[in-house]
Amino acid sequence: MENQEITPKQIMLNYGLLLGFTSILISVALYAMGKTYEPHWSVGLISTLISVVIIVLGIKKVKENNNGFLSLSEALKTGLGIALISGLVLVVYNLIFVTYIEPEYFARMLEMQQQKTLEMYPNFSDEQLEAAMEMGKKMSGPTINSAIIIIASLFLGFIISLIGGLIMKKTDEEITSI
């Protein structure tokens, strides 16, 4: 049997799916605990740490496949690929969630936003509150939500892969200049 090497695209797909499904598990756990609308701050921290670990492991795998060599562009490409696939998986889950599991999601989010706005700004006039709610309505919905998920995923993936790539990079030029 031949020893087939894993391609960078396969690494991006595998690690991206792993990160996407891990994010879904976190979302399902929040839903099961009734914390979908008000998750604890630690959930964001844990999600970010999981993203860092999975993206860095994906970049490390690419480096291993390149005999220990890694350029910054390879690290960025790998990290962004993992983040994009993860984001797409999360978008599909989110569309299923807001369409079938929790169809009142956006209406409830707007209610919570209104309550928090009134708590933070008790002197808001009715016109100001109405304007804030209209803006909230414009910014909610499956299309905007999906775009935000993809953009946030790519932004976080870029930052993680940039830092990870700068730390792990090793090129032929570095070896020959020694």
**Containing domain of residue 57, as a range?**
8-102+150-173
pTM confidence score: 0.89
Q: Residue 156: its pLDDT value, please?
A: 98
CA distance to 52, 61, 82, 173, per residue, from 158 (Å): 11, 17, 10, 24
60 lies in some domain: yes
Task: Give the pLDDT band (50/70/90) at residue 1.
Answer: very low
Residue 111 falls inside a structural domain: no
Contacts of 6 (CB under 8 A, 6+ apart): 61, 65
Pair 105, 45: CB distance under 8 Å? no
**108-167, pLDDT tens digit by residue?**
988 888 888 888 888 878 888 888 888 888 888 899 999 999 999 999 999 999 999 999
140 in a structural domain: no
Please count the structural domains in the chain: 1
Rounded to an integer, what is the distance from CA 74 to the centroid of its chain? 20
Q: What is the distance in angstroms between the CA of the first residue and the CA of the last residue of the chain?
A: 39
Residue 3 pLDDT more than 90? no
